Structure 1
Amino acid sequence: MLQLTETALTSALGEVDARAAVTFLGADRIEVLRFADRERGLVRYATLGMSASAMTDPTASVADPERGPRAELVLTLHAGHPATDQVLRPLAVLAAAPQVEGLVVVPDACLDLGEPLWPGAPFQAVLVAEPGGLVPDLTLPEPRDPVRFYPLLPMTPAETAWQRARGPQALREAWLAHGTDLRAPDRGAVPLSG
């Protein structure tokens, strides 16, 4: 199944530029693939392995290994910032959270690492965006749910606190109102009020 997932990623994002694998105790191996979009000056990082298992609610009495949401994570940044390639392990940590912590990743979820996404990054958390825009959902044979590819939007600590208080929609509106470039690896927090 992971081969199908990788094919879906390469069909949408191009050839893999680099890859790294991380294994966590009690979790399957997670790879992070790097895609360079030289035409647009972007670099994309996508997890591979998170979708191998369906995400299940930790409070469920019985976990169905076949049924349940499946996902991979995609982070897009402007190329040229050398430290961003060190986001590979933090992304793998986020991708392993469903197996390790019983987390079910959904749009508008806040995933907080508690440390910078890469050395010197102004971001410690990401907001999970709606899937389907960049990489289409991957339909799997029944009874499995499709794999959804969730874009990640980096948040500064101030933005993370504000969206927890006001909600993700309010943060998206603030980003939009200020023309925030969410792909800028060194951007500051959007001006927040209210």
Structure 2
Amino acid sequence: MSTSVTDRVTDHLRAALPGDPQRASVTFLGVEAIDVLRFTDAGRADVVFASVGCSRHPMADPTDLGADPVRGPRAEIVVRMHAGDPLVDLHRSVALLAATPSVEGVVLLADALVDLGEPLWSGSACTAVVLSVDEIADCPLDEPMSPVTFLRAIPITANEAAWVRLRGVDELRRAWEEAGIDVADVRRVSATPGRA
């Protein structure tokens, strides 16, 4: 029997990230369970959350009645933060992001904005994320399936999300760079992009 997509993704993440991950399984009504792996790199004091389950099926526009059940883009969500704070419930937010294609028919792509409308973890000012391609290499799958792309979800505040809608994600990234903001810092301040 061939290895399942989720097993292939899990093995790929274990090879790409250090340590033995903790695993949490999150279920949403009408959607297959999403697992979230939590990797901790003691040497760098960083923590990485990665979803497993988003890529079970290719993402497709829900209005496309002829969507291919095998071919099409597949992705998983990665969140990278500096450790130190508990990040309570972040695993649930990662699972919610990973379930978005199944629940809302959203195709997750680099530079996309996804607004959850609630704190990503307990006490967080961040309620949304912007996506970029993560440093983890694509996970190859058997033909004709497309490889799995890993998308880094960068937590952003409601003000930053509003700025992305108005001016685009590149403008927000420039603001982070100009202000020297570390987006993996749990306690970072919100960027205040300059006005044009």
Please classify the TM superposition score into its range, dividing by the shorter chain length.
over 0.9
Pair 1:20 & 2:20 matched: no
Task: Read off the aligned partner of 1:40 and give its amino acid letter.
Answer: R
Percent identity of equivalent pairs: 43
**Equivalent residue runs for 1:33-48 within 5 Å:** 33-48=37-52
Match in the other structure for 2:93: 90
Task: Read off the aligned partner of 1:96 and give its amino acid letter.
Answer: A
Match in the other structure for 2:155: 154
Q: Is the 8 A contact 1:86 1:119 kept in 2?
A: yes
Q: Is the 8 A contact 1:156 1:188 kept in 2?
A: no
Match in the other structure for 1:108: 111
Match in the other structure for 1:65: 69
Q: Is the 8 A contact 2:175 2:194 kept in 1?
A: no
Higher deviation after alignment, 11-20 or 164-173: 11-20
Q: Is the 8 A contact 2:159 2:190 kept in 1?
A: yes
Paired residue secondary structure (1:28):
strand
Q: Is the 8 A contact 2:38 2:49 kept in 1?
A: yes
What is the Cα deviation at residue 65 of structure 1?
A: 1.1
Distance 1:117 1:23 in 2: 17
Of 7, 11, 20 in structure 1, the residue corresponding to residue 11 of structure 2 is 7
Cα RMSD between the aligned structures? 1.0
What is the Cα deviation at residue 139 of structure 1?
A: 1.3
What is the Cα deviation at residue 177 of structure 1?
A: 1.4
Distance 1:85 1:153 in 2: 17
Q: Is the 8 A contact 2:88 2:122 kept in 1?
A: no
Match in the other structure for 2:175: 174
Distance 1:27 1:34 in 2: 21
What is the Cα deviation at residue 47 of structure 1?
A: 0.3
Distance 1:173 1:192 in 2: 8
TM-score normalised by L of structure 2: 0.94
Task: Read off the aligned partner of 2:127 and give its amino acid letter.
Answer: Q
Q: Is the 8 A contact 1:140 1:146 kept in 2?
A: yes
Task: Read off the aligned partner of 1:38 and give its amino acid letter.
Answer: A
Q: Deviations over 1:40-98 (max 9, x none)?
A: 1100000011111110111212121101100000001111102x142011111111010
What is the Cα deviation at residue 15 of structure 1?
A: 3.0
What is the Cα deviation at residue 17 of structure 1?
A: 3.0
TM-score normalised by L of structure 1: 0.95
**Structure 1 gaps, min length 5:** none
Match in the other structure for 2:143: 142
**Structure 2 gaps, min length 5:** none
Q: Is the 8 A contact 2:48 2:80 kept in 1?
A: yes
